[in-house]
Amino acid sequence: MTIRAVVWGENIHERTNEVVAALYPEGMHTTIAKALNADKAISASTATLEQPEHGLPADRLAETDVLVWWGHKDHGAVADEIVERVARRVWAPCTLKWREAGERERLWVTSPSHPIAEGVGEYFELENEEMYGEQFAVPEPLETVFISWFQGGEVFRSGLTYRRGAGNVFYFRPGHETYPTYHDANVHKVLRNAVKWAHNPQGTKSAILEAPNVPVEKALEPIVERGGKLHASGEAGFR
Preceding peptide of 135 cis, ω within 30°: yes
Report the 3 state secondary structure along 221-233: CCCCCCCCCCCCC
Number of neighbouring beta carbons within 10 Å of residue 117: 21
Q: Are 38 and 44 in contact (CB under 8 A)?
A: no
Q: How many residues bind a second copy (CB under 8 A)?
A: 128
Closest separation in Å from C-beta 212 to a second copy? 6
d(CA 133, CA 155): 6
Q: Which of 53, 60, 78, 89 binds a second copy (CB under 8 A)?
A: 89
Taking CB under 8 A as the rule, does residue 15 contact a second copy? Answer: no
Q: Is the dihedral of CA 191, 197, 200, 201 positive or negative?
A: positive
78 scored as a contact of a second copy (CB under 8 A): no
| Residue 3 makes contact with a second copy by CB under 8 A | yes
Q: Which of 15, 39, 51, 81 binds a second copy (CB under 8 A)?
A: 39
Q: Does 169 sit near a second copy (CB under 8 A)? A: yes
Measured CA to CA, the distance from residue 239 to residue 219 in angstroms comes to 22
In the window 111-130, what residues touch a second copy (CB under 8 A)? 111-113, 115, 118, 122, 128
The verdict on 100 binding a second copy (CB under 8 A) reads yes
**Which of 51, 165 has the CB closer to a second copy?**
165
**Residue 42, interface with a second copy (CB under 8 A)?**
yes
* The only residue of 8, 124, 157, 174 in contact with a second copy, by rule CB under 8 A: 157
- Does 182 engage in binding with a second copy (CB under 8 A)? yes
Residue 83 touches a second copy, criterion: CB under 8 A? no
According to the binding rule CB under 8 A, does residue 239 interact with a second copy?
Answer: no
Q: Quick check: 215 binds a second copy (CB under 8 A)?
A: yes
Query: Residues of 220-232 as b/e, b for ≥16 C-beta within 10 angstroms?
Result: eeeeeeeeeeeee
CB 113 within 8 A of CB 122: no
